[in-house]
Structure 1
Amino acid sequence: MDKEFNYHTFFNVDWESWINYNLGLSENWKTIFAIALWHIWRARNFTVFQKAMPHPVTMFNRYMVDSVANINTFQGNIKAQASLRDKARWERPRGQTIKVNIDGSWRNDGRVGAGAIVRGSDGGWFFGKSWKTKARNPAEAELLAIRGGMQMVIDAGLKDAIIETDAQTLKSTLQDVGKQGTHELSAILKDVQVLLNKGCDFEFNYADREANNAAHYLAKLAVEMDDYMKLYDEPSTSVKDVYEVDRVQSAI
């Protein structure tokens, strides 16, 4: 926050005085102010013309990306770029490896959905999927989503994949999948073990929820949609903003 910033003035003056006040502060604040206004205006237009309201977290993330990039470009502020790197964010796979972000969504009313998004080393969209499933608890929903994501990759003929989930306990379970004979989800784990021998080299990673938002939105969509399954050759409206933020942030 700008050292000269005055909350009372910011929230209590008329429109013209408010604009003049903000433009009279430091160069750093004027950059932040202009970028924030542009994103608010962009979100307003998206809501009016596309009949869809961007998620507030998505708006903030996109603002942060633009703000850091502009400050770094115009003011040479390397620290701003470093602070963005420290935040939990999606990371690109390396080389020819693809990354599959997975999420399961479980509701108390019995509705369960899964989402998966496949991306390459440039952060680009390969394909995505939302589908309904049945599960007794959140852990089972997550594991079914992982199994479904693995099958997607195998069906696509891909040979080297990172499966990324925000279910941390399942990551260790999957790493020792051959030793889970008495696990309550052993039937699904046996399916996973079979898929591990289908010609694709799988690696399992844990990601913070913030780095798994794209898959989270696809899983949420699966719960709410009427169709049993949807495939996406390009980002759907519900996930497009998050996908764009992931792609920009992962390039920094």
Structure 2
Amino acid sequence: METWQYLINKVQKQELEYIAFTFKQIWQRINKWVFEKVFKSPTEVWTAARIEWNNFIEAKDDMGTRSLLIHQPIRRDVEWQPPDEARYKVNWDVGFKTSTSKMGAGIIIRNFEGEVIVALSMPRAPVSDPSVVEANALWRAVVLCEEIGITNAVFEGDARNIISEVQQTDQSFAWYGQIIEDIKLIYNTRQRWTIQYAPRECNLAAHKLAQFAIQCDNELVWLEDIPEWMNECIQLEKNVILRMNI
């Protein structure tokens, strides 16, 4: 208790929340060993705490958004929007499963009619910072566009920090900075590529692919012919175009 009281007086609230999740994971690690003889490495503890903390921050943001929406009219712009006719939209997202520390990334590329050009689910090994997975997902999206010859595209995701790093001209000194610099090497030579932030409500298809990736052992790619479990989500987002044409 003395340690916790000391931290309350010395540490900022957000850092304190992260410490609390770390303490929780340490306690669970002890119980796993004592009662089940299951050993979790310090890296696994760190990763699980980081993921759980990120999910907590995201949930708080979502709750704040929902409380605001109660008193506001429904915004039609808070949903997937098609690109201009000559462009493609590239959405990417990542998913985490705290109980297993598994991570995955989802990428989907669509044209101005909402038709799927390619979709991808990519499992990722656990890391201590989810930003690394976000950066890797964007890197895979950039390479995917290179592979299929897309030269006019808007990249859209909800990772503000990654998007900001890519948009900056200065070198990234984040510990995932080399991934950012690799992205910029390609991105900065494509005059008709842009990148922008969009909330997860605008990114549901990519999020669904990311959640599926958590269950996968290998990367899966669908060219035009998407899996059936994606149909409802794709149609829901295509309805935006129908409303625009009314």
**Which TM-score band applies after superposition, normalised by the shorter structure?**
0.5 to 0.7
* Whole-angstrom distance in 1 between the partners of 2:195 and 2:177: 18
Matched, 1:248 2:244: no
Partner of 1:209: 200
* Whole-angstrom distance in 1 between the partners of 2:189 and 2:211: 29
CA contact (8 A) 1:158 1:200 kept: no
Deviation (angstroms), 1:195: 2.0
Aligned pairs, number: 168
Matched, 1:222 2:203: no
Partner of 1:119: 110
* Whole-angstrom distance in 1 between the partners of 2:167 and 2:172: 14
Partner of 2:122: 131
Matched, 1:231 2:221: yes
SS of 1:114's equivalent in the other structure is strand
- Note the residue ranges of structure 2 that are not aligned, 5 or more in a row: 1-72
Deviation (angstroms), 1:251: 3.1
Matched, 1:90 2:63: no
CA contact (8 A) 2:87 2:152 kept: yes
Shift in CA distance, 139/250, structure 1 to aligned 2, threshold 3 Å? farther
CA deviations on 1:71-98 (whole Å, 9 max, x unpaired) are: xxxxxxxxxxxx6653511000002110
Question: If you compute each CA radius of gyration, which structure gives the higher value, 1 or 2?
Answer: 1
* Whole-angstrom distance in 2 between the partners of 1:96 and 1:160: 7
From 139, 142, 154, give the equivalent of 1:147: 139
Shift in CA distance, 162/101, structure 1 to aligned 2, threshold 3 Å? same
Partner of 1:171: 163
SS of 1:244's equivalent in the other structure is helix
* Whole-angstrom distance in 1 between the partners of 2:191 and 2:140: 14
Deviation (angstroms), 1:229: 1.0
* Whole-angstrom distance in 2 between the partners of 1:248 and 1:126: 17
CA contact (8 A) 2:159 2:197 kept: yes
Matched, 1:182 2:135: no
CA contact (8 A) 2:155 2:195 kept: yes
Shift in CA distance, 149/101, structure 1 to aligned 2, threshold 3 Å? same
TM-score normalised to structure 2 length: 0.63
* Whole-angstrom distance in 2 between the partners of 1:141 and 1:158: 23
Letter in 2 for 1:170: I
Partner of 1:23: none
Shift in CA distance, 200/152, structure 1 to aligned 2, threshold 3 Å? farther
Deviation (angstroms), 1:171: 2.0
Shift in CA distance, 247/191, structure 1 to aligned 2, threshold 3 Å? same
Shift in CA distance, 184/217, structure 1 to aligned 2, threshold 3 Å? same
CA contact (8 A) 1:154 1:198 kept: no
Matched, 1:99 2:89: yes
Q: Between the two proteins, what is the percent identity of the paired residues?
A: 24
* Whole-angstrom distance in 2 between the partners of 1:137 and 1:251: 39
* Whole-angstrom distance in 1 between the partners of 2:77 and 2:184: 34
Deviation (angstroms), 1:249: 1.7
- Note the residue ranges of structure 1 that are not aligned, 5 or more in a row: 1-82
Letter in 1 for 2:161: T
Letter in 1 for 2:136: L
* Whole-angstrom distance in 2 between the partners of 1:84 and 1:246: 16
TM-score normalised to structure 1 length: 0.62
CA RMSD of aligned residues (A): 1.9
